[in-house]
A and B are shown apart, each in its own frame.
Chain A
């Protein structure tokens, strides 16, 4: 059994009854299923799991211990909920297969697919950006910030108060550079908001949010733009120079293509109006 999906213009296959059955149980993937296409890579059940020789990243979050690191010839992701409930994902450099073994808990599997997809598409100038993404006037705006800063709150204010706004994704839209132009795609990963849209829009700008007692917005220098974008790119890949090279080059492409702002804001209508005006009017070609 094979099912195929197309996310951000990259087609991939999920092979075997075990994995296909599991993906079919994740509603977020249904809008991205395609009948045919040349798969760039595939997810398959794996048996001979390699050992990690270096741990780049580990994090304990909501009861799940995430470990990511290099193996002698690739990368290994371990998602451990308990000793009985551990999922493994690995790949080998130069190969287009992503192997999965262990316990297929759906939320672990959903996240593992994000890591596998990201590893396979990074060389194609494609990366998931932790952000909430609004579409207006046919262009996409990414709102970035640490968890709890109010990204979703701010984009919901746009939906309420800025006519013509829609939400493309609330947690992990995919940014892709094609011929120097930056596009933002909906994805099957959208945090707690079920917003799974197989659509793309040209990137208009990025806004890093922070909470403040009053609203203000300003455009950032190259250096501050880099610092504003960097934390929202996949942290799992930031400790490996080869993977981070791809990320660093993509951040540069974003900075060259669109303005990056810092918005200090309250959770109110004026904050949404301010960011809208800055991004869509006086920021034109600046």
Chain B
């Protein structure tokens, strides 16, 4: 999977967000807020193909958590961003 390069992280007054503008014929703007680990994953995985395991390894290395925990966290993160079209297969 990979992150759609059209989306940018924006740091706004202490929050990290992604603005999903949708298309001009469908008024469906969504503002997605990312916490610190979601931002870390986004920045590390942007611009390349990656797998759930790649992303989970980053969480294990950064936060020293169990691999099973990291995988389930990454699955939730990836699913949420897929629903917004921000991550594509």
Q: Do A and B bind each other?
A: yes
Residues of chain A touching chain B, judged by Cβ–Cβ distance below 8 Å, are 56-59, 222-223, 226-227, 230-231, 235, 238-239, 241, 244-245, 248, 251-252, 255-256
B14 to chain A, nearest CB (A): 7
CB neighbours of B6 from chain A (8 A): 241
Q: Offer 22 A-B interface pairs, CB within 8 angstroms, sorted by A.
A: A57-B24, A58-B25, A223-B17, A223-B33, A226-B17, A227-B29, A227-B31, A230-B19, A235-B24, A238-B19, A238-B21, A238-B29, A239-B21, A239-B24, A244-B21, A245-B8, A248-B10, A248-B12, A248-B19, A252-B13, A255-B13, A256-B13
| Count of chain A to chain B residue pairs whose CB atoms are closer than 8 Å in the complex | 43
A235 to chain B, nearest CB (A): 7
**Nearest A residue to B14 by beta-carbon distance?**
A222
Interface of A is mostly: helix
Known A235-B24, A241-B6; judge A222-B15 contact (CB<8 A): yes
- Cα–Cα distance between A222 and B24 once the two chains are bound (Å): 25
CB neighbours of A244 from chain B (8 A): 19, 21
- Whether A226 and B12, one on each chain, are in contact in the complex, defined by CB atoms closer than 8 angstroms, is yes
9 interchain residue pairs of minimum CB distance: A57-B24, A227-B31, A252-B12, A222-B13, A255-B13, A238-B21, A222-B15, A248-B10, A223-B33
Known A227-B31, A230-B29, A230-B31; judge A222-B21 contact (CB<8 A): no
B2 to chain A, nearest CB (A): 17
Q: Which residue, of B10, B21, B24, has the highest number of chain A Cβ atoms within 10 A?
A: B24
Contacting residue for B24 out of A58, A230, A248, CB 8 A: A58
- Whether B24 and A56, one on each chain, are in contact in the complex, defined by CB atoms closer than 8 angstroms, is yes
CB neighbours of A241 from chain B (8 A): 6, 8
- Cα–Cα distance between A227 and B33 once the two chains are bound (Å): 11
CB neighbours of A59 from chain B (8 A): 24
CB neighbours of A245 from chain B (8 A): 8
CB neighbours of A57 from chain B (8 A): 24
CB neighbours of B24 from chain A (8 A): 56-59, 235, 239
- Cα–Cα distance between A252 and B17 once the two chains are bound (Å): 12
- Cα–Cα distance between A235 and B23 once the two chains are bound (Å): 10
B34 to chain A, nearest CB (A): 11
**Nearest B residue to A57 by beta-carbon distance?**
B24
CB neighbours of A226 from chain B (8 A): 12, 15, 17, 31
CB neighbours of B21 from chain A (8 A): 238-239, 244
B19 to chain A, nearest CB (A): 7
CB neighbours of B12 from chain A (8 A): 222, 226, 248, 251-252, 255
0 or 1 for each of B23-40: is its CB under 8 Å from A? (1 = yes):
011000101010000000
14 additional A-B residue pairs with CB within 8 Å, beyond A231-B29, A235-B24, A248-B10: A58-B25, A59-B24, A223-B31, A226-B15, A230-B19, A238-B19, A238-B21, A238-B29, A239-B24, A241-B6, A244-B21, A252-B12, A252-B13, A255-B13
